[in-house]
Amino acid sequence: MFKNQSGGFRIPPTLIIAVIMAGFALCKYYGQSSLNEITGETQHISMSPEQEIALGMQSAPQMAQEMGGLSSNQAATQIVKQVGQKVVNNSIAKSTPYRYDFHLLADPQTINAFALPGGQIFITEGLLMRLSSDGRTLDENMLAGVLGHEVGHVVARHSAEKMAQMELAQGLTGAVTMATYDPSNPNSSYIAQAVANMIQLKYGRDQELQSDNLGVRFMIEAGYDPTRLVDVMEVLKQAAGPNRTPEFQSTHPDPENRKEAIEAAIQEWRGKLGR
């Protein structure tokens, strides 16, 4: 605030604009909500399931191309599709409106799996080749754990939720920038970016843990051994090496912390499902 000529105080116009911008972003975000029947959570999402499906199917070819294309290994591709569909068809995920399809990417170096909105799910050859309990044979339980985790992202609508959160973060970033920017100190804009980054990091870790929990549920419902998902965390830990990014700076929780959460989820869902 600043004093005016009469000795009173006036609110800077930029602060008024910032408050309006923040209010608009918050009203838009919290004004759109829907109940996720699988997770029981009320989510702030503007997209419909049909829009998620369309977006995922439209994005899938380009995403595959960026990751080196689809694998030419038909046998491995068929296993990925069979295990993925078994996870879906024998779990509560089948009751959702999404169109699940599972793809094997040709990239032998990258250790990764991910899901697009609406049910398009990918895993790289690099990760698939590491899913073995004896170092030679593919462990389908471990594969089911990876794919179940990705199905969890779809069921929990994490992509659509993330998009809404990013819109909120952008709105708040603009408001903070307007309120704090100092022309004599260009670094003042970093405050706004820090706010956006912190919002998105927190949500990322929460979503990963929720997908682990849902993945455990789907594995048990589909007849797979959920303890093998713990072994997947060891694969990820070894792949990352000793110099992996600290958990606080990453959207993914540390594999060791994920192990603990998965073990707790196994006890939880075995008790609820009676298996």
Per-residue pLDDT tens over the stretch 5-59: 555 566 666 666 656 655 655 665 566 788 999 999 999 888 899 999 999 999 9
Per the model's pLDDT, the better-predicted residue between 3 and 228 turns out to be: 228
What are the domain boundaries of the chain? 13-273
Give the pLDDT score at 113: 95
Which whole number is the average pLDDT over 159-168? 77
Tokens of 221: 């419902």
Beta pairing partners, 120: 101
Arithmetic mean of pLDDT, 150-161: 94
Distance CA 66, CA 60 (A): 10
Between residues 272 and 245, the one the model is more confident about: 272
pTM value > 0.75 = yes
Give the 3-state secondary structure of the chain.
Answer: CEECCCCCEECCHHHHHHHHHHHHHHHHHHCCCEECCCCCCEECCCCCHHHHHHHHHHHHHHHHHHCCCECCCHHHHHHHHHHHHHHHHCCHHHHCCCCCEEEEECCCCCCCEEECCCCEEEEEHHHHCCCECCCCCECHHHHHHHHHHHHHHHHCCHHHHHHHHHHHHHHHHHHHHHHHCECCEHHHHHHHHHHHHHHHHHHHHHHHHHHHHHHHHHHHHHCCCCCHHHHHHHHHHHHHCCCCCCHHHCCCCCHHHHHHHHHHHHHHHHHHHCC
In the predicted model, what is the mean pLDDT of residues 189-196?
A: 50
pLDDT bucket at 181, cuts 50 / 70 / 90: low
Count the Cβ atoms, other than its own, within 10 Å of residue 102: 25
The helix-helix angle for 140-155 and 228-240 (nearest 10°) equals 90
Q: What is the pLDDT of residues 75-133, one digit of tens each?
A: 999 999 999 999 999 999 999 999 999 999 999 999 999 999 999 999 999 999 999 98
Confirm if 218 and 93 have CB atoms less than 8 A apart.
yes
Residue 3 has pLDDT above 60, yes or no: no
